[in-house]
């Protein structure tokens, strides 16, 4: 092929190929800088993008699970608060029952203490009935005794049990306002109604405390797992912006040089005209 030709300009072809290559590399770098990702879509790196999308799905699923766990924690904490108030009220009722067990009090005093007992038992019932969170009451509604909440992104569940507090607590002492001295004395024994109600209440406080601790631990574990997953995605698809910044400057200089080289190569045929003057 002749080196001096107006038909074929080999220098311009080489300069144009180099210029196009630089332009393509510059487009890639600008995309990385503008998105912050080395792999922004499947065209950049199909395999890495597929892995990143799968892990992003797992993170989204675990985030959703933590939202559900948060709702369950709210229910359990409300229930615990109710049981704590019941326990405090039972202590007061125990004090009144001791007075009712005293055979030396007058009839008027007994009536007053019985009225106090009635108000305290009404309070206990109210605390149980009001232990509702988002429409659910695991102390009053027999239909919610078995509860399951999604605990992770795989859909696996954690189960906790409700408690029939009306039966196990309130019914034990609901008739306290009618107790005679003998009834009150019996209620204070180890197997008596007051002792049974207190034992049942404290047992459930312990249970719901354990449920709350488990959910707290699961939420924290899910957060730690998501943090690790997010870091893994970052290592896989995030762009090194410091490196890309340096590359951008280098490519911009190469683009300028390529433009000049292409311009010089395009001028080569013009020099042949001088031969025909």
Quick one: 17 and 149 in the same domain?
A: no
Answer yes or no: do 132 and 256 share one domain: no
Total domain count, the chain = 2
Domain extent for 29: 10-36+239-276
- Give pTM, 2 decimals: 0.78
pLDDT of 20 over the 70 cut: yes
Q: Say whether both 167 and 93 belong to one domain.
A: yes
Q: Are residues 245 and 183 in the same domain?
A: no
Q: At 193, which CATH number?
A: 1.20.1330.10
Asked if residue 49 belongs to a domain, the reply is no
Residues 153-201 have pLDDT tens digits of: 999 999 998 999 999 999 999 999 999 999 999 999 999 999 999 999 9
Report H helices in the chain: 10-35, 46-100, 107-129, 165, 171-173, 181-187, 193-237, 241-272
Report if residue 41 sits inside a domain. no
* CA-angle at 8, arms to 6 and 12, nearest 5°: 100
Which pLDDT score is estimated for 25? Answer: 85
Would residue 144 count as lying in a domain? yes
Distance CA 125, CA 119 (A): 10
Average confidence score pLDDT of the chain: 90
Q: Distance between CA 242 and CA 140 in Å, rounded?
A: 61
Residues 141-155 pLDDT 10s: 756 556 889 999 999
**pLDDT tens digit string along 97-135?**
999 999 899 999 999 999 999 999 999 999 999 999 998
Looking at residue 90, its pLDDT comes to 97
Whether residue 97 is found in the same domain as residue 119: yes
Which sign does the torsion angle of CA 63, 69, 75, 77 carry? negative
Question: How large is the average pLDDT for residues 223-228?
Answer: 95
């Amino acid at each position: 092929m002749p080196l001096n030709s107006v038909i074929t300009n080999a220098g311009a072809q080489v300069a144009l190929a180099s210029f196009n290559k630089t332009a393509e590399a510059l487009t890639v770098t600008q995309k990385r800088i503008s998105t912050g990702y080395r792999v922004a879509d499947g065209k950049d790196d199909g395999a890495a993008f597929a892995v990143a999308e799968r892990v992003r799905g797992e993170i989204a699923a675990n985030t959703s699970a933590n939202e559900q766990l948060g709702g369950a924690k709210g229910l359990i904490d409300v229930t615990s608060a109710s049981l704590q108030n019941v326990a405090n009220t039972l202590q007061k009722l125990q004090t009144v029952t001791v007075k009712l067990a005293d055979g030396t009090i007058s009839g008027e005093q007994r009536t007053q203490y019985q009225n106090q007992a009635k108000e305290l038992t009404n309070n206990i019932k109210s605390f149980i009935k009001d232990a509702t969170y988002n429409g659910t009451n695991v102390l009053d509604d027999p239909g919610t005794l078995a509860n399951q909440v999604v605990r992770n992104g795989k859909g696996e569940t954690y189960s906790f049990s409700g408690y029939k507090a009306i039966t196990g607590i309130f019914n034990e002492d609901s008739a306290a306002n009618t107790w005679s001295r003998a009834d009150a004395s019996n209620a204070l024994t180890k197997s008596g109604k007051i002792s049974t109600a207190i034992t049942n209440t404290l047992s459930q406080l312990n249970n719901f405390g354990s449920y709350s601790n488990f959910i707290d631990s699961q939420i924290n574990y899910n957060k730690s797992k998501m943090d690790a997953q997010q870091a893994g995605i970052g290592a896989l698809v995030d762009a090194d912006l410091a490196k890309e910044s340096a590359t951008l400057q280098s490519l911009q200089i190469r683009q300028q040089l390529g433009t000049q080289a292409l311009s010089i190569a395009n001028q080569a045929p013009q020099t042949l005209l001088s031969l025909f003057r």
